[in-house]
Amino acid sequence: MAFRFTVFLDRDGVINRKLPNGRFVCRWDEFEFLPDVPKAIRLLKQNQLTTILVTNQRGVSLGLYSEVELLKLHRRLSSVLRRHRAPLDGIYYCPHAAGVCACRKPGVALFQQAFRDFPGTGPSRSVVVGDSIGDMQAAHKLGCAKVLIDDGTGRIEAEAQTLGIHIEYCADSLLVAVQEYILPRSIVSG
């Protein structure tokens, strides 16, 4: 079996802009791609990297939107990315509140399911790209490389350091992370 290099992407803060004041992206008209995201994902796909979205969507458990509405948003996201020749291989989401499941990051159940669904993938040949301490904790538990999309404050990096988590790479955008860290790493471990 051929081994596949895998990139796990968080959604809010990595693929799309977060809404202010802790609000949730509930509908497509609130969804705004961060700069160069389709280009970054297209580069991953052109280099034959398995690219999977893993996202916490607590807004479902809060009743702000339904799972049906979330799936509709993700179908629209997938459609737009396909038009940019940047298809995702899979989308995994946790609709639960904190503390009630094993799938909500920093839990690792969604990643483990993806490893089962995509034979040839595994933690040692995977990178988790996120913008939160939960993303970095999940990657640390799994033994995956950790890439932080940093907001410029250094807060997440400092918190990770306090927890004994080494973040391999920090970038201000997904495109920079892909070009400067992920693609070179995938070639070296290929």
92 within some domain? yes
Q: CA of 174: how far to CAs of 53, 57, 59, 96, in Å?
A: 13, 20, 24, 26
Residue 190, pLDDT above cutoff 70? no
Contact 44, 7 (CB under 8 A): yes
pLDDT at residue 111 tops 70: yes
Q: Tell me how many domains the chain contains.
A: 1
What are 87-106's pLDDT values in tens digits?
Answer: 999 999 999 998 899 999 99
pLDDT at residue number 2: 61
Predicted local confidence at residue 185, as pLDDT: 87
Q: Does residue 1 lie within any of the structural domains?
A: no
Query: Of 143, 173, 152, which is closest to residue 41 (Cα–Cα)?
Result: 173
In this prediction the pTM is 0.96
Distance CA 150, CA 172 (A): 5
What are the tens digits of pLDDT across the range 46-88?
999 999 999 999 999 999 999 999 999 999 999 999 999 999 9
Q: Does residue 153 lie in a domain region?
A: yes
Residue 74, Cβ neighbours under 10 Å: how many?
A: 18
12 counts as catalytic: yes
In this prediction, residue 187 carries a pLDDT of 78
Residue 151: band (very low, low, confident or very high) from pLDDT cuts 50, 70, 90: confident
Residues 12, 89, 131, 135: which is the catalytic one?
Answer: 12
For the CA atoms of 34, 40, 42, 43, what is the dihedral angle to 10 degrees?
180
What is 111-177 written as a DSSP string? HHHHHHHSTT--GGGEEEEESSHHHHHHHHHHT-EEEEE--SS-HHHHHHHHTTPPPSEEESSHHHH
Task: Give the C-alpha separation, 175 to 37, whole Å.
Answer: 6
How does residue 3 score in pLDDT terms, banded at 50, 70 and 90?
A: confident
Active site residue 10: yes
Residue pLDDT, tens place only, 16-32: 999 999 899 999 999 99
Q: What percent of the chain has pLDDT over 70?
A: 97
| CATH code of residue 160 | 3.40.50.1000
State residue 4's pLDDT score: 84
β 145-149/126-130 pair status: parallel
Q: Give 33's pLDDT tier (boundaries 50, 70, 90).
A: very high
Separation of alpha carbons 25 and 1, rounded Å: 39
Q: Is 39 domain-assigned?
A: yes
Residue 78 burial class via C-beta count within 10 angstroms: exposed 0-12, middle 13-18, buried 19 and up = middle
Domain of residue 159 covers 6-188
